[in-house]
Amino acid sequence: MLAKEVIQRVREIQVRTGRHVADVLAGQYSSVFKGRGIEFDEVRPYIPGDEIRTIDWNVTARMGAPFVKRYIEERQLTLMMLADVSASQDFGSGTRSKREAAAELCALLAFSATFNDDKVGLTLFHGSIEQYIPARKGQKHALRVVREVLTHDARWHDDSSPSKRSGETGRRFRSWPWRNNHRRSTAERGRQSTNIAAAIEFFMSVSKRRSVCFVVSDFFDDNYVRSLQMAARKHDVIAVLITDPRELELPSVGLVSLQDAESGRTLFRDTGSPAVRAEFARQASLRVEQLEQEFRRAKIDFIHIDASGSIVDPVARFFRIRERRRHR
């Protein structure tokens, strides 16, 4: 994107998401994520009337006088977003690519956090860590987060186009993000496999305090659930799957070539065949169901967002579910 287009796009997202935050999400965000725990503050001498269970026996034995642990409510949170910027994220069959949907989601979350005076950080990844923006407060910082997700240079394509859109306008679906188990050489940056586990490990290394972590990806990767589980022991981890309608259902347009956006490998499918379309839809639906089941077993919250639809509705629904769960 050109600088002028970037500014215009970010402003559009700011206006649209800012309105949704003010009208819908800010209060829900606060009730779901605010004041969820306590944080150790200091050790001080015991005062008659203090709870006996707060006595720090180690310090008491060392000092020869009773001391108690003092805690404060953890009101300010850190919201960290791990956004997948692999080539498959540039796919979009409608007016919005998965990357643009991810940017709008990050805007919703970042502005909700900013509205509640929380810190916001961002990690962009694919085969390795592409960019890390430490958590800070303020609307300018939130806008920077949105801009980076939206405009991060995707250098995985074979041509100079920043994004290849796919759709029903032609019979060659370029950069189709179909699942590819072939491992690319790490020597060639543009052919690195998405590595969610490495992104989680990086997040764990830079986030010492408890954070709320949204992992935004299409999850075309393997062997990352254990890393998510380990992160969830300390942090509040939410997996956000972003899909495009054409990843779930093929149109009937005859023989098409589908190209892996990251490896460049190509396969052919006869979309004129009802059996081919039905099998494609079955496998795609099964993948989403299996992802949701995997995350549920790992006790990881899950949000599924359609890049062509509303970003607000799935997030608001997730907030409502979390709120009901807290009051059970």
Look at residue 283 in the predicted model and tell me its pLDDT: 96
Contact 143, 159 (CB under 8 A): no
pTM over 0.95: no
Listed residue (173, 151, 134) closest to 256, CA to CA = 173
Look at residue 72 in the predicted model and tell me its pLDDT: 63
Give the whole-angstrom CA distance, residue 89 versus residue 68.
51
Q: Name the stretches of the chain with pLDDT < 70.
A: 1-4, 6, 22-24, 26, 34-39, 72-75, 153-192, 326-328
Look at residue 39 in the predicted model and tell me its pLDDT: 63
Sheet holding 212-217, edge to edge: 129-136, 119-125, 78-84, 212-217, 236-243, 301-306
Look at residue 6 in the predicted model and tell me its pLDDT: 64
Look at residue 161 in the predicted model and tell me its pLDDT: 38
Give the whole-angstrom CA distance, residue 151 versus residue 173.
23
CB count in 10 Å sphere of residue 6:
13
Look at residue 328 in the predicted model and tell me its pLDDT: 62
301: which strand partners?
Answer: 238
Look at residue 178 in the predicted model and tell me its pLDDT: 45
All domains of the chain in start order, with CATH: 3-37+77-326 (3.40.50.410), 38-73 (no CATH)
Contact 220, 244 (CB under 8 A): no
Look at residue 17 in the predicted model and tell me its pLDDT: 74
For residue range 34-74, list pLDDT tens digits in order. 655 566 778 999 988 888 888 999 999 999 999 999 876 55
Tell me the CA distances in angstroms from 318 to 115, 304, 309, 315, 325, one per residue in order.
Answer: 19, 10, 16, 5, 11
Look at residue 325 in the predicted model and tell me its pLDDT: 78
Look at residue 42 in the predicted model and tell me its pLDDT: 83
